[in-house]
Chain A
Amino acid sequence: EVQLVESGGGLVQPGGSLRLSCAASGFTFSDYSMNWVRQAPGKGLEWVSSISYSSTTIYYADSVKGRFTISRDNAYNSLYLQMDSLRDEDTAVYYCARDQSASGGFYYYFDYWGQGTPVTVSS
């Protein structure tokens, strides 16, 4: 059974840092690209960052570029999100999600999600 379990969320002051983790199990982690997606309270979903299976390709949303760093450790089946210079607007539930492709890699979607870890940025 595929499982993604996030941890590391909490309350942090503006300007502070936090490191989120996502522990994967039930599949060959090193075969899949992974993503972070967030959801502010009462709001919709926002893609945050993605990392390829080998960490060679990394992307960020403009809203977090230069402040967040995504990484992974395939030996430990883990995904990470280092969040620095946090702002009030970063308050959200953060989900890790697995990338899946169909039709020979033409179509991509998020087929498994973790339960999310809440991050609150407030003084």
Chain B
Amino acid sequence: DIQMTQSPSSLSASVGDRVTITCRASQSISSYLNWYQQKVGKAPKVLIYAASSLQSGVPSRFSGSGSGTDFTLTISNLQPEDSATYYCQQSYRIPRKTFGQGTKVEVK
């Protein structure tokens, strides 16, 4: 199975900051990488698919980049409502679309 490793596990940043979360795959997955946001007590919500494509309705302060084994999710101009846990997911080795362990973002 492809292992997905996110870093950091958690972070705290201020409103207006630029935040970067990284995700590393245990083997090359081309651009088959998705990002999800999960708020406490809620279902996950897709933000980015195919490494860098913004899902419809998602604010443009969210962006994704990378290919191969290394990927990043960037939140520009961090907002209070961005407090959540963020997960990466590989869709290269379907159907086993494994997730990273998550990164918890706290907005101070």
Contact = CB atoms under 8 A, between A and B. Distances in A.
Question: Are A and B co-members of a single complex?
Answer: yes
Interface of A: 35, 44-47, 50, 59, 61, 95, 100, 102-103, 106-111, 113-116
Contact of A116 (B43, B50, B97): B43
Interface residues of B, number: 26
B96 A108 contact: no
A113 B44 contact: yes
12 contacts: A44-B100, A59-B96, A95-B43, A102-B49, A102-B50, A106-B50, A107-B49, A109-B46, A109-B50, A113-B44, A113-B45, A115-B43
Question: What does DSSP make chain A's interface, helix, strand, loop or mixed?
Answer: strand
B12 to A, nearest CB: 19
A107 B31 CA distance: 8
B63 interface: no
A110 to B, nearest CB: 6
Contact of B102 (A44, A106, A116): A44
Contacts of B97: 47, 108, 110
